[in-house]
Amino acid sequence: MKLSPLALSLAAALCAVSVHARAGDVTPATDSTTTSGTTTDDTPGGTRNRPAPKVHDLGAISVSAALDQARNALSPDTGSSQYVIDQKAIQALPLGASTPVNQVILQAPGVVQDSYGGLHVRGDHANLQYRINGVIIPESISGFGQTLDARAIQSVSLLDGALPAQYGLRTAAVVDITTKSGADLGNGGSIGVTGGSFGTFNPNVSLWGNSGNWSAYFTANYLQNNVGIENPTASRTPIHDHTNQVKGFGDISYLIDNDTRLSFMFGFANNRFQIPDNPGQTPQFGYLDVTNFDSANLNEQQNEQTRFGVLSLQGKLGQTGYQVSLGQRYSGLQYLPDDIGDLMFNGVAGAINQSDRASTLQADFSTPLNDTHTLRYGVYGSYDRAGTNTDSLVFPADADGNQASTTPLGIFTSDQIVARTWSAYVQDEWSIGQDWTVNYGLRGDMYKSFGTTQSQLSPRVGVVWQATDSTTVHAGYSRYFTPPATEMITAANIAAFAGTTNAVKNYGDNEPLAERSNYFDVGVSQNLGSAWTLGLDTYYRDVHDLQDEGQFGQALVYSTFNYRLGRVAGAEFTANYDSGPWSGYFNFAYTKAMGKDVVTSQYNFDPAELAYIANNYIYLDHDQKYTSSGGVSYALDDNTKLGADYLFGTGLRSDGLVPNGDHLPAYFQLNLNVSHDFMFDRFGKLHTQLAVINALDRTYELRDGTGVGVGAPQFGPRRGLYLSLQKDF
């Protein structure tokens, strides 16, 4: 997609603004029900996995709330699985709103934690689509930095299973985030800090407000600690693991009239990481006259930047609701090696500079045809330009790959990749009587990059049966098309290292392929009274050209490769309770994810490993058979709450007699917290929250350094004590 369509779309949006502006303004709100801002669980909202109550049109603020509901109506979930975590549930977590977004999502069923903050949903590697206020935010360069702050989230929904036709491209799950709004919070702000173990210091500030037809919300925070990345050893204190992170988010909205809103949201993250050292390693290469190097003194670092901005026009033309968005996301990554250390341990020291800029256009429409049919349709386009420049030091090698000289030589390589994606969908939501809803549609995707064009038409169908007032059954089928990430190493760059200690053993087919799959999902939800909600969901996915990713090298970035065949199956059980002072949740999931025959990026693999996988299904490295999460919260009174939550897993894969043939030991992590709101005559309310992470201080490994595409050992967090203070004003 060229820039001209984006410019035309922007011009069209601005023209629409001027047309609606002449039609008349919104009457400012005078309703006495306007809420004041707060960052605690006093803000009205739904409970965990239940939607918030509806609002009525009363004034400018309630008009914004009604538009929020209209925006949600553009995104149905008929036939798919949905798990909702709202602001109240986030605040009940041990770290409250200081919880990283990836750890918030870990509380949903079927989500498995990995190193570097990675997540796997239903046996997939990454492949998550993030939507903020209904707008797709393209994924950043692979890494471990978190872009969005949980303080900005009003609620987050995890959609997976057989998704409707409007969801595509990244299909393991859709992380659908609704942010806080100045129209809902009134005028005010919040300032606070979280501090504690491992040198953690995390101050934050938020501002919000509305005036007439304008509303805005801003939040920013700074984080530093000494455990930026998981420790590669079991010790309590990692070596060389400091991080500094700055994040911010903003959303500015203008109500053009009662049916139309123009908004601009933006976010940024600048994160710096030291790569932690693993002491006691033995150098494999000599450097000049140096024969020994203490691996505890390595000085590798990685920096990441992400910025995004989206201009959206949401409104109504006749009976048709719409949202048209124009966006751009920039992502950058720099890996800074320890030249001598990396050469002696790995035979290569590469300074990597990656950048990726994506420009996007998204338009979604919803038209009720009659009382029983609602037609939804839309388009999406992206123009993605990625580049990688690498300055490498390597040693010359003989024909057998052995080091031929202790004097390094320099090699510069560069990749430039342009990817164009176009998508369109149409779907009909058909209400049959009072008890049945069918959502059927068709999606088309076209992806052009790496000199080839790949495309697919994907049918979707989902059915919901309201069996009783308390029992809901859903089933769905979706055909999926998943383009590869815009990160690869060209054949020319691979050939540049021939005759060096960074030469590969198997060139293979290095251009990644789009994944194609058939997804089946069946589930049931049961309400027991007003307090209990139970759910059971099963799924099966048959995959061709299954995409996976691995860390093949020292830099903490991932490379995509494909298995020719894949099969993934599983089941999830959920239980949620909310009554009086008690609330709680429990999730348990079973997953089996396997692949066969690596058909791209074979240069990353040992020939013997490739030969075995070519004829045998193996477990994917991120497969975890059983996963569970849960928590409980109890309110002693209006000001004091106690809480606990846990994570359990049977362990990710490691090498055994065959690739990924074993798994790491099971782990259990228990977290505790207590919160109290102090009231002062002059100062007002001060929210405090004390958390103990891994209260039992159980040492467990996420990775042991073995397995397909696994770069280094990674251990879970050790016991930590953290105190949060938050003051609204």
pLDDT of residue 26: 42
Q: Does the pLDDT value for residue 37 go beyond 70? A: no
Q: Does the pLDDT value for residue 28 go beyond 50? A: no
**Measured between alpha carbons, how far is 358 from 332 in angstroms, rounded to an integer?**
12
Residue at token pair 């977004």: 101
In terms of Cα–Cα distance, which of 304, 306, 333, 235 is closest to 276?
235
pLDDT of residue 48: 54
pLDDT grade, residue 120 (50/70/90)?
Answer: very high
pLDDT tens digit string along 125-176?
888 999 999 999 988 775 555 788 899 999 999 999 999 999 999 999 999 9
**Measured between alpha carbons, how far is 94 from 114 in angstroms, rounded to an integer?**
20
Q: Does the pLDDT value for residue 41 go beyond 70? A: no
Mean per-residue pLDDT, 79-86: 84
In terms of Cα–Cα distance, which of 453, 451, 456, 379 is closest to 422?
379
pLDDT of residue 710: 76
pLDDT tens digit string along 385-403?
999 999 999 999 998 889 9
A 10 A CB-CB count for 346 gives 18
Helix, strand, coil share of the chain (percent; to 5): 10, 55, 35
Contact 121, 622 (CB under 8 A): no
Share above pLDDT 90 across residues of the chain, in percent, rounded to a whole number: 71
What single DSSP character describes residue 556?
Answer: S
Contact 561, 595 (CB under 8 A): no
Q: Does the pLDDT value for residue 688 go beyond 90? A: yes
Angle at 338 between CA 336 and CA 343, to 5 degrees: 120
pLDDT tens digit string along 360-373?
999 999 999 999 99
Cα atoms in the Cβ-side hemisphere of radius 13 Å centred on 473: 6
b/e per residue, 517-527, with b = 16+ CB within 10 A? bebbbbbbbbb
Contact 219, 205 (CB under 8 A): yes
Q: Does the pLDDT value for residue 16 go beyond 50? A: no
What single DSSP character describes residue 280?
Answer: T
The lowest-confidence range among 37-41, 166-170, 272-276 is 37-41
Cα atoms in the Cβ-side hemisphere of radius 13 Å centred on 198: 27
The lowest-confidence range among 355-364, 505-514, 646-655 is 505-514
pLDDT of residue 490: 60
Q: Per the structure block, which two tokens stand in for 20?
A: 């609606």
pLDDT of residue 488: 59
pLDDT tens digit string along 197-224?
999 999 999 999 999 999 999 999 999 9
Share above pLDDT 70 across residues of the chain, in percent, rounded to a whole number: 88
- How many domains does the structure of the chain reveal? 1
pLDDT grade, residue 507 (50/70/90)?
Answer: low
pLDDT grade, residue 62 (50/70/90)?
Answer: low
Strand ranges of the sheet holding 173-179, from the earlier edge strand across to the other edge: 81-86, 153-160, 173-179, 128-132, 135-137
pLDDT of residue 555: 55
Q: Per the structure block, which two tokens stand in for 639?
A: 């000001």
Instruction: Tell me how far apart the 2 most distant CA atoms of the chain are, in Å.
Output: 83
H-run or E-run covering 350: strand 348-368
Contact 134, 72 (CB under 8 A): yes
Contact 387, 415 (CB under 8 A): yes
The CATH number linked to 358 is 2.40.170.20
A 10 A CB-CB count for 492 gives 10
37 phi and psi angles, rounded to 5 deg: -75, 150
In terms of Cα–Cα distance, which of 177, 164, 690 is closest to 459?
164
pLDDT tens digit string along 534-572?
999 999 999 999 998 876 555 555 678 899 999 999 999
| Residue 280, amino acid | G
Contact 8, 239 (CB under 8 A): no
Name the pTM for this structure: 0.86
Q: Does the pLDDT value for residue 44 go beyond 60? A: no
pLDDT of residue 706: 86
Give the distance, in angstroms, between the CA of residue 363 and the centroid of all CA atoms in the same chain: 22
Contact 654, 624 (CB under 8 A): no
What single DSSP character describes residue 708?
Answer: T
Range of the domain at 593: 3-728
A 10 A CB-CB count for 376 gives 24
Torsion over CA of 650, 651, 655 and 660, rounded to 10 degrees? Answer: 80
**Measured between alpha carbons, how far is 685 from 662 in angstroms, rounded to an integer?**
52
pLDDT of residue 15: 42
Mean per-residue pLDDT, 684-690: 95
A 10 A CB-CB count for 300 gives 20
Residue at token pair 């006691």: 280
3-state secondary structure 192-219: EEEEECCCEEEEEEEEEEEECCEEEEEE
pLDDT of residue 603: 79
Point out which residues pair with 688 in neighbouring strands.
676, 725
pLDDT of residue 489: 59
Strands 173-179 and 128-132: parallel
Mean per-residue pLDDT, 691-712: 89
**Measured between alpha carbons, how far is 654 from 652 in angstroms, rounded to an integer?**
7
**Measured between alpha carbons, how far is 718 from 235 in angstroms, rounded to an integer?**
9
Contact 480, 508 (CB under 8 A): no
Residues contacting residue 630 through CB under 8 Å, at least 6 positions apart: 584, 585, 586, 587, 645, 646
**Measured between alpha carbons, how far is 101 from 94 in angstroms, rounded to an integer?**
13
pLDDT grade, residue 623 (50/70/90)?
Answer: very high
| Residue 669, amino acid | Q
Residues contacting residue 468 through CB under 8 Å, at least 6 positions apart: none
Q: Does the pLDDT value for residue 17 go beyond 70? A: no
Residues contacting residue 412 through CB under 8 Å, at least 6 positions apart: 389, 390, 391, 392
Q: Per the structure block, which two tokens stand in for 451?
A: 């000199």
pLDDT tens digit string along 294-326?
999 999 999 999 999 999 999 999 999 999 999
**Measured between alpha carbons, how far is 281 from 294 in angstroms, rounded to an integer?**
8
| Residue 440, amino acid | Y
**Measured between alpha carbons, how far is 427 from 432 in angstroms, rounded to an integer?**
16
DSSP codes of every residue in 379-395: EEEEEEEEEEEEEEEE-
What single DSSP character describes residue 227?
Answer: -
Strands 135-137 and 153-160: unpaired
Helix (H, G, I), strand (E, B) or coil at 60: helix
Q: Per the structure block, which two tokens stand in for 408?
A: 């390094």
Q: What is the residue-averaged pLDDT of the chain?
A: 87
What single DSSP character describes residue 151?
Answer: G
Give the distance, in angstroms, between the CA of residue 289 and the centroid of all CA atoms in the same chain: 46
Q: Does the pLDDT value for residue 255 go beyond 90? A: yes
pLDDT of residue 301: 95
Contact 187, 218 (CB under 8 A): no
